[in-house]
Amino acid sequence: VNGAAAIAGSLRAHGVGLCFANPGTSELHLVEAFESTPGLRSVLCLFEGVATGAAGGFGRMGGVPAATLLHQGAGLANGMANLHNAGRAASPVVTVVGDGATSHAGLGAPLESDVAALAAPMSRWVRTAGSAATAGSDTAAAVSAARRAPGPVTLVVPADVAWSEGGVVCPPGSAPDVAASVPAGRVEAIARSLRERPGAALLVGGGALRGPGLAAAARLARVAGLTVLAEAFPARLEQGAGVPAVERLSGDPGRARGRLTGIDRLILAGARAPVAAFAQPGTPGALTAPGCVIEALAAPGEDATAALQGLAELLAPGVRARPANPVATTAWAPGSALDAATAVQVVAAALPEGAILVDESNSSGAALPAATAAAAPHDLLAVCGFAIGEGLPLSIGAALASPGRPIVCLESDGSAMYTLSALWTQAREGLDITTVVLDNGGYSILRRESRRTLGAGTPTAGSPLFDLGGPRLDFAALGAGLGVPSARAATAAELDLQLKRALAEPGPHLVVVSLPSL
Amino acid sequence: VNGAAAIAGSLRAHGVGLCFANPGTSELHLVEAFESTPGLRSVLCLFEGVATGAAGGFGRMGGVPAATLLHQGAGLANGMANLHNAGRAASPVVTVVGDGATSHAGLGAPLESDVAALAAPMSRWVRTAGSAATAGSDTAAAVSAARRAPGPVTLVVPADVAWSEGGVVCPPGSAPDVAASVPAGRVEAIARSLRERPGAALLVGGGALRGPGLAAAARLARVAGLTVLAEAFPARLEQGAGVPAVERLSGDPGRARGRLTGIDRLILAGARAPVAAFAQPGTPGALTAPGCVIEALAAPGEDATAALQGLAELLAPGVRARPANPVATTAWAPGSALDAATAVQVVAAALPEGAILVDESNSSGAALPAATAAAAPHDLLAVCGFAIGEGLPLSIGAALASPGRPIVCLESDGSAMYTLSALWTQAREGLDITTVVLDNGGYSILRRESRRTLGAGTPTAGSPLFDLGGPRLDFAALGAGLGVPSARAATAAELDLQLKRALAEPGPHLVVVSLPSL
């Protein structure tokens, strides 16, 4: 057993069955080992950001991490934006990076770089496998760290560690790592203080945005004097008809700030304190009201669901959640013009039960929260880390983690161009992913933000740097070139028809919606 | 004048006139300033790796750095593979990264990361602009560092540094930075030792691979007992009919090792010591013979051309270079089948005088050095850093640095997929770039290397991870979708015809050559 086989075997032994790979010459022994380890399947991606984004999607939906296999420092760098996103989504990802042989280090080979230093800013845990003998236990430690964080971890594997004999597969550990329990005393103290001093808000996020956590949150929403909100950009939010409804904080910083006005105490349950994604002159970064006291019922990595259930037992014993969202309704009129709001309404109405909706609609998605709240029950995956180019790969991982569940991806024109080759992997794997490209011919979010930040009349809002119109990207041609059947929709009824066709046929599809510029 | 305007003005004052931009919300004030600074033009790229690759091409051909404008840590990460390549090519690039406001730091905004730490591994120089007052001088220091290194440098600009008033444009310095002179004593000592002890080899690289350096090298090649070689992967090599010919070391490690056998002393003139790009079990990394003594006539960053000229005066006074390469000839037969060797021969024969040939042909390019040696005189740009995905963006920068010179880019199928949207920028800018995609439907280099490394019969050579055939990428559709007129060539004569058409028409073109799998 060489080091590579010890790594592959240890991944498998610790629950990792899938690898998104974009290997190079330093990884040949790893490729050999990954391909010959039963139960470990590798999926080829044509760009590292596709591999890491797909692994992020798998981690969100699969509960166990996927691996990625990347090539030296430059390959890792290409994958780091979506590792950043995985970190913000608390999605476990085990990245294995092949490096030059230790005997080669310092010779100045063309790809030589400090891989561990590169990995550090976007990894929760980094280790370089020092020998074939420890490669298996290093791998087990990596999987454990990814699950415990949870988030992306990086194991650097020098080529000679991979090819040397003396590897040992690390046997499976005892129980898988789970979120840490919140001490009962903390839950009781918060319950007591909320009884004594109402007027607080509870912000729910992370793993608490699924059925059990939402049910507890919806019960707490009936407690007088307690406002219950869900975080704006969830890693995985169950919603739709029949799912307990919790008001979602707006992703628009102005609206979120308005909603949080007058709240002088915010209790976090698996969520982060809400801040504006981008600073503006003269505007504070925090979205909470000045002086608002922020405390944690459950910090990220702690079991927010159990904590919410405990809090609900203390504050709302016997109370039942408000009726869940009503049955799904179709919210668009057949004669509607196809603007962004209508497009997302058509998509929401067409969502099959059990769908996974990947949302990278950005500036086109303002109507999405309202449109999907009463859609058929589904999971919503947002871009938690704001590094664009996550949606198409995220869909791959979500699909592979959730066989039988249809994936619908709302993608923006600008964002689609960072990891477009994800469509090829979707085609290669025959994944049931329907991508709707909302093409408004520009970086509309930059146009909008420049008006906000620089003033309504700023010439910068019309900057050619925000214009994707010359030449206009032809996403239907691009999709077809990558092997995905692609169509255009010019009206709401056409979009509805194309979506239904796409959802009825196996394999990936792309539907392009041309929207007016913002 | 705010900090952003001080940065833009200082870039311009220090000779930077071009910026490859993929901005985000943190860079709005920088966009405003860049767009309103006369003489500073910004070119939009749809992915950061396109921006950095284009800047690398500009630096190689333009002599002065271009800037890039990127968005926070995730955006920088996307651009780092081609910054790595720029570093290996000693191409000056000034990357400006917008970051969150300093007042925002530590709040946990979605894109928060340690940008300076991220930048360090792929930058020769990193600084975070601390205030609007120093932003101009920080910018001047960045340009100076990029020229002096030469290579990529990174200036991190917090949003509030950009928007705050109190900026000062840093006035132009005295002379531009140039390569450091090699002390005359070192040249004389090497000349003396070469007279006393012949049998050495001289490896020429960097800036010495242009006319004057090559002329001196070709004179030295006539000195008895001195072998003169050019480095295998040049940042910019002048070659073709009329250019003094210097034998180029093979890019194949086995051949290079063979060529260096028996050479016990290697003198570097602007080149790095030759090493195998990738380690193999039981094979040393250095390509030089065991015990070979390596010394530097001119280290990277020193003026290798002048040093070679000095050495030629001492060792070969009055000697003239061997006759330069003969007049270009057409090396392919019209009836040839279109394999990789024929394809590059057709391209070499079609090269117009003064063309710039960007070579990312990888496994399909074995015949290129021979085919181009006697082509019409041109510059050849190789991928010095081995991070694939450089060719298409490199072509953009080379075109913008060299108005009136046609660009021909030999691109591989696998490599093209990392930065494909470069084609869109080529179309938007109307650049005279003819891209020939050599599509053999796989990562052939990995197939070949797995046979070498794992053994001839290894099943890994047939790994699906090396196969781009299911589905086959349709590069003509992809090119068209990005706004570039695209055609397919099935025979040598068709390729010749398509090339001549593409070269005769303004603007970018794409020609796809389907090759047999390796």
What are the pLDDT tens digits along chain A (518 aa)? Answer: 999 999 999 999 999 999 999 999 999 999 999 999 999 999 999 999 999 999 999 999 998 999 999 999 999 999 999 999 999 999 999 999 999 999 999 999 999 999 999 999 999 999 999 999 999 999 999 999 999 989 999 999 999 999 999 999 999 975 555 678 999 999 999 999 999 998 999 999 999 999 999 999 999 999 999 999 999 999 999 999 999 989 999 999 999 999 999 999 999 999 999 999 998 999 999 999 999 999 999 998 899 999 999 999 999 999 887 777 776 666 788 888 899 999 999 999 999 999 999 999 999 999 999 999 889 999 999 999 999 999 999 999 999 999 999 999 999 999 999 999 999 999 999 999 999 999 999 999 999 999 999 999 999 999 999 999 989 999 999 999 999 999 999 999 999 999 999 999 999 999 999 998 87
Identify whether the C-beta of residue B101 lies closer than 8 Å to the C-beta of residue B158: yes
pLDDT at A329: 64
Identify whether the C-beta of residue B436 lies closer than 8 Å to the C-beta of residue B411: yes
What is the rounded average pLDDT for all residues in chain B? 95
Identify whether the C-beta of residue A296 lies closer than 8 Å to the C-beta of residue A229: no
* Closest by Cβ to B114, choosing from A21, A88, A121: A121
Residue B125 token pair? 């120089």
Residue B447 to residue B460: CA distance in whole angstroms: 8
pLDDT at B331: 75
Residue B72 DSSP class: H
Q: Does B481 touch chain A (CB under 8 A)?
A: yes
Burial of B334 (0-12, 13-18, 19+ CB in 10 A): exposed
* Closest by Cβ to B428, choosing from A100, A277, A470: A470
What residue of A is the nearest CA neighbor of B163? A281
Show residues of chain B in contact with A120, CB under 8 Å: 117
Q: Are strands B378-382 and B237-239 parallel, antiparallel or unpaired?
A: antiparallel
Phi, psi (rounded to 5 degrees) for B405: -100, 130
Identify whether the C-beta of residue B181 lies closer than 8 Å to the C-beta of residue B302: yes
Which positions ≥6 away from A65 have C-beta within 8 Å?
A15, A16, A55, A58, A59, A92, A93, A94, A143, A146, A147, A150
Show residues of chain B in contact with A103, CB under 8 Å: 279, 284-285
Q: Does B259 touch chain A (CB under 8 A)?
A: no
Residue A50 to residue A67: CA distance in whole angstroms: 13
Q: Does A481 touch chain B (CB under 8 A)?
A: yes
Angle at B71 between CA B68 and CA B73, to 5 degrees: 110
Characterize A462-490 residue by residue with b for buried, 16 or more Cβ atoms within 10 angstroms of its Cβ, and e for exposed. Answer: ebebbbbeeeebbbbbbbbbbbbbbbbbe
pLDDT at B300: 85
Q: How far is B192 from chain A (nearest CA, A)?
A: 29
Q: Kindly report the number of other CB atoms within 10 A of residue A376's CB atom.
A: 18
pLDDT at B383: 98
Q: In what order do the strands lie in the sheet with A265-269?
A: A247-248, A226-230, A200-204, A265-269, A293-298
Dihedral of alpha carbons B231, B235, B241, B243, sign:
negative
Which positions ≥6 away from A514 have C-beta within 8 Å?
A338, A439, A440, A441, A488, A490
DSSP for A373-386, please give it. HTSSSEEEEE-TT-
Which residue bears the tokens 């028809």? A497
DSSP for B88-133, please give it. HTT--EEEEEEE--GGGTTS--TT---HHHHHGGG-SEEEE---HH
Which of A:109-128 have CB within 8 Å of B? 109-111, 113-114, 117-118, 120-122
Looking from the CA of B235 toward its CB, the CA atoms found within 13 Å total 32
What residue of A is the nearest CA neighbor of B476? A481
Q: Does A454 touch chain B (CB under 8 A)?
A: yes
- Using CA atoms, how far residue B136 sits from B23, B139, B142, in Å, is 20, 5, 10
Q: E-strand spans in B241-372?
A: 247-248, 265-269, 293-298, 355-360
CB contact under 8 A, A424 and B471: yes
Which residue bears the tokens 């913002």? A518
pLDDT at A176: 56
Q: What element of type H or E holds B41?
A: strand B41-44
Residue B154 to residue B124: CA distance in whole angstroms: 8
CB contact under 8 A, B465 and A120: no
Q: Does B430 touch chain A (CB under 8 A)?
A: no
CB contact under 8 A, A417 and B46: yes
Q: Does B474 touch chain A (CB under 8 A)?
A: yes
pLDDT at A326: 72
What residue of B is the nearest CA neighbor of A453? B28
Ranges B37-51, B293-307, B310-324: which has the least confidence: B310-324
B13 has pLDDT over 60: yes
Q: Which of A284, A341, A272 is nearest to A495 (CA)?
A: A341
Residue A231 to residue A246: CA distance in whole angstroms: 10
SS3 A429: helix
Q: Does A427 touch chain B (CB under 8 A)?
A: yes
Which residue bears the tokens 């260096």? B260
Q: How far is A84 from chain B (nearest CA, A)?
A: 7
Residue B25 to residue A36: CA distance in whole angstroms: 46
* Closest by Cβ to A275, choosing from B42, B107, B385: B107
Q: Which of A256, A211, A264 is nearest to A238 (CA)?
A: A211
Helix, strand, coil percentages for chain B (3-state, nearest 5): 40, 20, 40
Q: In what order do the strands lie in the sheet with B433-439?
A: B237-239, B378-382, B355-360, B407-412, B433-439, B509-514, B486-489
Identify whether the C-beta of residue B155 lies closer than 8 Å to the C-beta of residue B70: no
pLDDT at A174: 55
CB contact under 8 A, A424 and B473: yes
Which of B:211-250 have CB within 8 Å of A? 233
* Closest by Cβ to A477, choosing from B80, B427, B477: B477
Q: Does B319 touch chain A (CB under 8 A)?
A: no
Which of A:399-418 have CB within 8 Å of B? 414, 417-418
Q: Does A254 touch chain B (CB under 8 A)?
A: no
Which of B:327-386 have CB within 8 Å of A? 384-386
Show residues of chain A in contact with B35, CB under 8 Å: 459-460, 463, 465
Instruction: Please compute the mean of the pLDDT values over residues B175-185 and round it to a whole number.
Output: 79
SS3 B9: helix
Q: Does A420 touch chain B (CB under 8 A)?
A: yes
pLDDT at B329: 64
Q: Which of B434, B424, B439, B431 is nearest to B500 (CA)?
A: B434
Which positions ≥6 away from A494 have C-beta within 8 Å?
A338
Q: How far is A100 from chain B (nearest CA, A)?
A: 6
CB contact under 8 A, B277 and A109: yes
**Best mutation site among A78, A80, A472 for testing chain B: the one with the most B CBs within 10 Å?**
A78
B176 has pLDDT over 70: no
Instruction: Please compute the mean of the pLDDT values over residues B269-283 and round it to a whole number.
Output: 94
* Closest by Cβ to B32, choosing from A25, A85, A460: A460
CB contact under 8 A, B450 and A31: yes
pLDDT at B327: 67
Q: How far is A408 from chain B (nearest CA, A)?
A: 21
Q: Which of A104, A114, A17 is nearest to A72 (CA)?
A: A114
Q: Does A477 touch chain B (CB under 8 A)?
A: yes
Residue B388 token pair? 């694939």
Which residue bears the tokens 């990888």? B362
